[in-house]
């Protein structure tokens, strides 16, 4: 049977315009570490999970940190991004309307993010927890995106098959994770381009997105 059973949402850059807050925090951390955040490093970091992100950052800055220095950097960035996430976080265009429309249509939804739980909770303060039947964060699975673990766990929590879901993502890392899990993928690019690939559907924004669009995406994928 071909059907849409759930929508699985990325958070940063997809629902919330929070990548700019991460830009600020990571840029400040780079200065703390004695370097400078280049455009190339920042783009490589978008969508990365914590351990991968720190590897990319330190390597890009030409540093060979000790395990203790990595832990210290993690504590620094969590404190700073928590400060920045206090209060309302800007929405991506059309995101709030899409969540409202899908909830009204009775479509179960989950939040699926590479951001750790302690920080995601601040994002949920802006988003509204009642939109989501489940939320899953990178520190709650063995491997974050681009591994499929987050999306597989989200589908399990909702009691659906991944192939009956649409994942909505903004980054190459997230798209790879959703594809590996077997989800249909809708890409709404934000900070960086996402390469075209078989099975990926692209939109410029979430503005005007309907549940019918997602049902058709599932149908189109099964027909191809």
d(CA 19, CA 135): 19
d(CA 24, CA 19): 9
Burial of 112 per CB tally in 10 Å (0-12, 13-18, 19+):
buried
When pLDDT is cut at 50, 70 and 90, the band that residue 223 belongs to is: low
Is a pLDDT exceeding 90 seen at residue 36? Answer: no
Calculate mean pLDDT across residues 19-44.
86
Mean pLDDT for the chain overall? 91
**Sheet (strand 184-187) strand order:** 134-137, 109-113, 6-9, 165-169, 184-187, 200-202
SS (H, E, C) 192-222: CCCCCCCCEEECCCCCCCCHHHHHHHHHHHH
CA-based torsion, 209, 211, 216, 222: positive or negative: positive
pTM for the whole thing?
0.87
**pLDDT at position 171, please?**
92
pLDDT in tens, 139-174: 999 999 999 999 999 999 999 999 999 999 999 999
Calculate mean pLDDT across residues 35-52.
78
pLDDT in tens, 63-118: 888 889 888 988 998 899 999 988 789 999 999 999 999 999 999 999 999 999 99
pLDDT in tens, 207-219: 999 999 999 888 8
DSSP letter assigned to residue 140? G
- What structural domains does the chain harbor? 6-17+91-223 (3.40.50.1000), 19-85 (1.10.150)
Among residues 149, 124, 126, the alpha carbon closest in space to that of 138 is found at 149
d(CA 58, CA 30): 9
When pLDDT is cut at 50, 70 and 90, the band that residue 17 belongs to is: very high
Angle formed by the axes of helices 67-85 and 19-32, nearest 10°: 140
**pLDDT at position 37, please?**
83
187 or 24, which is more confident?
187
Express as a percent the part of the chain with pLDDT over 70. 96
Is a pLDDT exceeding 80 seen at residue 49? Answer: no
């Amino acid at each position: 049977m071909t059907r849409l059973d759930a929508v699985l949402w990325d958070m940063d850059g997809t629902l919330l315009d929070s990548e700019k807050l991460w830009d600020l925090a990571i840029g400040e951390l780079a200065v703390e570490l004695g370097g400078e955040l280049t455009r190339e490093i920042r783009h490589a970091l978008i969508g990365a999970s914590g351990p991968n992100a720190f590897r990319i950052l330190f390597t890009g800055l030409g540093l060979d940190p000790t395990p203790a220095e990595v832990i210290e950097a993690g504590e620094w960035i969590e404190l700073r991004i928590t400060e920045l996430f206090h209060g309302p976080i800007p929405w991506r265009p059309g995101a709030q309307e899409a969540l409202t429309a899908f909830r009204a249509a009775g479509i179960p939804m989950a939040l699926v993010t590479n951001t750790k739980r302690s920080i995601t909770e601040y994002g949920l303060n802006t988003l509204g927890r009642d939109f989501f039947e489940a939320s899953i964060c990178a520190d709650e699975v063995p491997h974050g995106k681009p591994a499929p673990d987050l999306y597989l766990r989200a589908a399990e929590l909702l009691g659906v098959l991944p192939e009956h879901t649409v994942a909505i993502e903004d980054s190459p890392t997230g798209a790879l994770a959703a594809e590996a899990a077997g989800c249909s993928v809708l890409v709404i690019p934000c900070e960086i381009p996402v390469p075209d690939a078989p099975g990926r559907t692209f939109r410029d924004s979430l503005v005007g997105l309907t549940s019918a669009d997602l049902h058709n995406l599932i149908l189109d994928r099964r027909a191809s």
